[in-house]
Every structure is written in C-alpha cells, then in structure tokens.
Amino acid sequence: MSTAPKFGLNVPQSEAVIYLDGPCLVLAGAGSGKTRVITQKIAHLIEDRGYDPRTIAALTFTNKAALEMQERIAKLLKQPRQAKQLTVSTFHSLGVKILRQEAAGVGLKDRFSIMDSDDCFGLVQDLAITTDKQLIRRIQNSISLWKNGLIDPEDAIRDAQDEDEAQAARVFRSYVATLSAYQAVDFDDLIRLPVELFRNNDPIRDKWQRRLRYLLMDEYQDTNTCQYELVKLLVTGINKKPMFTAVGDDDQAIYAWRGASVENLKTLGVDFPDLKVIKLEQNYRSTTRILQAANAVISNNPKIFEKSLWSEHGLGEPIRVLGMQNDDQEAEQVAIMISADRFQRKNKWSDYAILYRGNHQARVIEQCLRKERIPYTISGGQSFFDKAEIKDIISYLRLIANDGDDPAFIRAVTTPKRGVGMATLEVLGAFSKQWNCSLFEAAFKGGIEAKLADRQLIPLREFCNFINNLESRASRPGPSGSGDNAAAVLDDMMKEINYESYLYDMFDDRAAQSKWQNVLEFTNWLKERGCGGKDKSGEEKNLLELTQMVALMSMLEGKDEEPDAVRMSTLHASKGLEFPHVFLVGVEEGILPHKGDPDASVETIGARVQEERRLMYVGITRAQRTLQITWCKQRKRAGEQVHCDVSRFIKEMALDVGDAAPMETEIISPKDRLASLKALLATPREVPPQ
C-alpha cells in the first residue's frame, strides 16, 4: 500500500486514514489534526471502500464535538445527506439508542426515564437520610465510580475499607433497587446496562455487531473501564475481525478523578496484539517555543508511547513567566496586559484566553476585567436552564406537554412535596412496568387501588388531575390569541404549587430570594414570548408551544456564535480549544499541581502529580502564538494572606535551554514591560469617523 500523502494530509495522517487491515490506534498529539483524520477516514470508508454510512459509528465525549464532526463529514461527501445516516454521537447517546431498542433485555419498559444529576442527588439524599450536601456528593461520586468500574453493590459492600465506604455501598444497593422500581436509569447506566446486556445476550450483541461494521473513537484516553468494555463487546466476536480506529493522546489524560483510565491505551495493545500504532507528531497550532516547553514538561512523566511534537510555525515569541505579589495584583496585571496587547496588535477580544486550575480563582479576575471594561465569557459556567429552580418549573411544563415524561413526573410530584413519597412511587413504578405504561397513566389504572392505601392514592390522583386540568387549558387557543391564556395558566400553576414558600422553607432567605428572582425572570420571559415578544411582533404561542420552544432552547443552548470576548476557563474545560494568546494564571505549588490529600500513599501522590503535569501540558498547548504564565508570592486563603511557592512545572518547562531561551533583544524586565504597557494604554485611541 502506498504511503504517499493523500487527501491533502501529511504522511502519518494519510496512513491513519487508509489503514483498514485491523484495529488501529492513532496517537494524536495536541493540535496534530486528529478530527481531520477521523472525518477524512469516514469519508474514505464511504466514498472509496463502499461502506454503508448506517454501519459506521464515531464516538466522542461532547454533543458539540459530535455535531461539528457530522458537519465536517457532510462537506467531504459527494452526497452530504449521507452524513445524517452515520451514528456520530457521544458514548452516552449510543447507550440510549441501544437501550431504547433493547429495553426488555435489561428489564425496562420502552419508555424508561433518564434521571439527571439533580434527580439522583435528591434520591441519594432521601436514601442516606442526610442534608449534608458534601456527603451526598461524595456518595454520588462513589456510586458513579462503582458503576463506571462495573462493580455491583454487593461487591462494593464486601470490599468497603471503612464505615464511610460501607455506608456509601449500602446507599448504592438501595439506589439501584429504587431506580429499578422507578423504571429509571441514571447517566452511568446508559453505558453500564448495554455492557451487561451484551455480556449476557449473544444474539443481541451479534445483531449490534452486524449493524456497526466500523467504529471510530475520539479522545480515547478519556474512556473509563465501562466505556472500554462497551467498545470491546462491539468490535469482538466469533469469526469477527475487530475493525476500529481509536484516536487519543496519553499526554492529555486529565480525567482520572471521574474514572477515566489512561491504562486503557496500554490495555489496547494487550487485548488486540495486531494493533497498528500511528503517531501524529506534527503540530499545526503552536510555535516551536510553546511546543518545546510542552515537550519538556511532559517528558518528566513515564511514557506509554514516546512522541515529541514539532511545528513549522517558526520559533515564536518567548514564553513569559511573571511572579506577582498577590492574586489582586495578578488579576489586575492580566487585565492590563490583555488590554494593551489587544490595542498593540489590533486583535479581537476573543483572541485571548485566561486559564486556571479551579473555579475559585475566577472571581478576582472577573472583577478586574469588569473594571477595565473587558468583555468576557466563562466556559463551563452553569446555564440558566440548568439551574435547579428553573428545571423544577420546566418539569411541570414538560409534564403538561407530555404526561408520558416519567422523569418530569417524578420531579414535579416531589418538588414541592405533595404528600407522594418514595414508597408510593416505588409501587407506581412496579405497576407501570407491569402494564408497560407511564407513571401518570398507571395512577389511573384499575387495580392500583389494591396496592395503595387511600392516604397514598388520593394525593397522587389529585396531582394528576391538577396536571390534566392545566393541560386542557394549555392547549386552548384563548379568545384574543393564545398569549394571554398561556400567562393565565402559568400564573394559576405557580399559585397552586406555592413554589415561593417552598424555596423559603428549603433555603436561607438570601438564597431563596435569588432563586425566586430567577423563577420570576423565567415565567415573565415565557409570558412575554407567549404574547409575541417585547414588541409583540412575533407569533402568539399557547403554553404547549412555549414548552416545546424551551425544550429546544435548552438543548441547543451554546450553539450561538461565539461573542467577541476574552474566554475564561478552567484547564479541564479548555481541552480541545485553542487561542492565539493564552494567560495561564495561578501556577503555584498547591494549585497546579493541586495539593490533594497529603496523607495519601506515595503511589497515589505520584499518580496525582503526573495527572496535574498532563493538565499543565494541556494548558501550554492551548496557545498558538503567545503564552504568559503568572504565579503569586502570596494568595488569600480563608481571608488570610498565605505564602506561595512557584510551581515545579515552571522549572520543568526549561525556558532558558536551547532554542527556547529568549535572545538578548527579547529580554525585557517586568518593570520596563509594565511601563511600556502603561504608555500604550495612555496613547489616545483613534476615533473612527462618524
């Protein structure tokens, strides 16, 4: 087979695209064009090798990445419509697809519910009989790690190391039983249950293997045990040649805390001895100096696979490391430097990113950006539609629009509480499974009276009648159009559920007030949209139409064009992104690398520092042209100034070695640099002609 470059790619990229003799691992360094390889390979499979697009699946970790990939593939195909026939999705979306079609095989009804993390939090809270939020989150996290590691409750109870673990394991056992009774699954089940199904049911596994002839996986280093097992079960079988391409980078494995295992890259070669490994080392993103610093840092980690990034983008500007007196000065300087640099280079605000290890570092930086009137966006911040109080109200709207929406039913009937407890819901769940109907429908089925006492049945049916009444009014167009009618129905619903009182009962006054303001903002916005918008120029909508609009908006949120603003982001949320100019802040011992548990074993501390080093590597390789690194000599902790040491990673960057060392003409003292920045900022700006 010719190794000459094809498709406008370099030699290793071309090789990765055309290799179809068995399993393939593409080790793609940061900025080496991995998405291009995946999309080009899919186009090659369809156009040159005659694959039916319906038999190809490409798996990634975010919906956004999946959407972008699908759009890019469509542009490469002679018939762009074929891109729609591909399975391009997250691991979890593929899990949903399998479960929807094979529900009976795992003891679920067709219309099972998917619980979100808030729903699951409430369930763990009830089972653990505690209001300690940290404890609930810890138990939730343990349950997630057990499920992702394919550990069942009995094994978790048996292997518990102390009483805390034993308590979490007991909650885990009850949690699994309760979800089963509710006919519901959580996020982790979306992969765990297909794995169990394929392990225990050869005909179903065989069917899905025939359906998916070729599998591609992005960000393979971020897979956990469960995801790897799903992949194995999909690509291996009797007389079946494993046909897949995994794309990953062991140097960017930064999700061990949520169960991801970089070992999966190592295991791949053991499970598939004929694995073809192709390295992509040419970087199309960054300058040589940035790559040299990244290579120098990561060389301190033990390697699964040796590789070294290189670039044709020239040497580039020196990387600057600035020590600051404290975090106030750090934030102030970063804001001034961005403002001056933008003015000097005539850049857009969106050319700049500020990256940090933890969200707690953002507040003081935000204050300074606002002071300097610099627009910014925060990655990974909570969307309005993700706020618990908004989701509570939306659950009622979802239920009015579709009484078969079981997660909405569970959330609405328990928030605020309406005399319907867990015992009632468990009976209802079992009954709905028996009749293969929704929870709502089950409440009116004959025979339920024998299973529930009056004190359980009456509040349940009162709630369902309340929803039915709202639904009959919600779909009614109203005399003057539907907007006024929608507003009236909404007001009556809010009055009936008495949500404001519930907030003040559950939270302190300040939090309750803030949450209630959000609810008012949301309901007023809905009413406004129902009446055709602010200027009443749009179409009027009834409540059902408004609910559909909200569902769509919450799903599509974040798809708007990127605003011209500085991007603030944690290092974890920045993975996969790139920016011309990057400011990496707070690079100190205790922050990056993160302090962690000082009493942990030597092995655990060693593994943690290695992961933090990979995080530093991710931060460095986000930068295309310039990289500025700051650290503080002192930082506020719990209201007190504490001494800080510069991070070991800065020394590891070896900035004064080889080509990376700044030339004499490039050396400028921090004092001189600041003076020139201030002078720039003081220069009057040109006023554009009116």
Digit-coded pLDDT (tens) for 410-467 = 999 999 988 898 889 989 988 888 887 889 999 998 889 999 999 999 999 999 999 9
**Quick check: helix, strand or coil at residue 187?**
coil
Burial 612-642 (b: 16+ CB within 10 A, else e): bbbbbbbbbbbbbbbbbbbbbbbbeeeeeee
pLDDT of 664 reads 60
Q: Mean pLDDT over residues 4-8, rounded?
A: 71
Q: Mean pLDDT over residues 544-560, rounded?
A: 57
Residue 280 has pLDDT above 80, yes or no: yes
Least confident interval from 108-112, 145-149, 582-586: 108-112
Phi, psi of 674 (to 5 degrees): -65, -40
pLDDT in tens, 309-335: 999 999 999 999 999 999 999 999 999
Question: Where residue 580 falls among pLDDT bands split at 50, 70, 90?
Answer: very high
Q: Are strands 634-637 and 640-643 parallel, antiparallel or unpaired?
A: antiparallel
Segment 228-233 long-range contacts (CB within 8 Å, at least 24 positions apart): 228/261, 228/264, 228/267, 229/150, 229/195, 230/91, 230/95, 230/191, 230/194, 230/195, 230/198, 231/59, 232/271, 233/195, 233/198, 233/199, 233/205
pLDDT of 529 reads 80
DSSP 79: S
Q: What share of the chain in percent tops pLDDT 90?
A: 50
∠ CA 501-504-510, rounded to 5°:
140
Tell me the pLDDT of the chain averaged across its residues: 86
- Distant-in-sequence, close-in-space partners of 140: CB < 8 Å, separation ≥ 6: 117, 120, 121, 124
- Residue 318, both tokens: 């020196």
Alpha-carbon distances, residue 660 vs 287, 478, 628, 672 (angstroms): 10, 71, 14, 21
Alpha-carbon distances, residue 645 vs 204, 224, 589, 649 (angstroms): 57, 34, 6, 11
Active site residues: 34-35, 218-219, 252, 622
Can the peptide bond before residue 416 be classed as cis, meaning omega within 30 degrees of 0?
yes
> 276 with 23: CB under 8 angstroms?
yes
Q: Mean pLDDT over residues 86-97, rounded?
A: 88
User: What is the rounded distance in angstroms from the CA atom of residue 461 to the CA atom of residue 81?
Assistant: 48
Q: Mean pLDDT over residues 551-557, rounded?
A: 49
pLDDT of 689 reads 43
pLDDT of 11 reads 93
pLDDT in tens, 361-412: 988 998 899 888 898 888 765 566 778 899 899 889 888 877 878 888 999 9
The more confident residue out of 12 and 96 is 12
pLDDT of 688 reads 41
Give how far the C-alpha of residue 226 lies from the chain's centroid of Cα atoms, to the nearest Å: 18
Strand partners, 352: 581
pLDDT of 477 reads 55
DSSP 447: T
Identify residue 602 by its one-letter amino acid code.
Answer: V
Least confident interval from 203-212, 391-400, 525-534: 525-534
Question: Where residue 663 falls among pLDDT bands split at 50, 70, 90?
Answer: low
Q: What share of the chain in percent tops pLDDT 70?
A: 89
Give how far the C-alpha of residue 578 lies from the chain's centroid of Cα atoms, to the nearest Å: 17
pLDDT of 215 reads 95
Question: Where residue 560 falls among pLDDT bands split at 50, 70, 90?
Answer: very low
pLDDT of 7 reads 78
Question: Where residue 603 falls among pLDDT bands split at 50, 70, 90?
Answer: confident
Q: Mean pLDDT over residues 581-610, rounded?
A: 90
Which spans in 498-566 are helix H? 499-506, 509-530, 543-556
Least confident interval from 123-127, 401-405, 416-420, 476-480: 476-480
Instruction: Estimate the crossing angle of helix 388-401 against helix 543-556, to 10 degrees.
Output: 130
Q: CB count, 10 Å around CB of 422? A: 15
> 98 with 88: CB under 8 angstroms?
no
Residue 478 has pLDDT above 60, yes or no: no
Residue 61 has pLDDT above 50, yes or no: yes
The more confident residue out of 388 and 475 is 388
User: What is the rounded distance in angstroms from the CA atom of residue 506 to the CA atom of residue 184?
Assistant: 26
The more confident residue out of 115 and 160 is 160
User: What is the rounded distance in angstroms from the CA atom of residue 595 to the CA atom of residue 607?
Assistant: 13
Residue 557 has pLDDT above 60, yes or no: no
End-to-end CA distance of the chain: 63
Residue with tokens 């003409």: 665
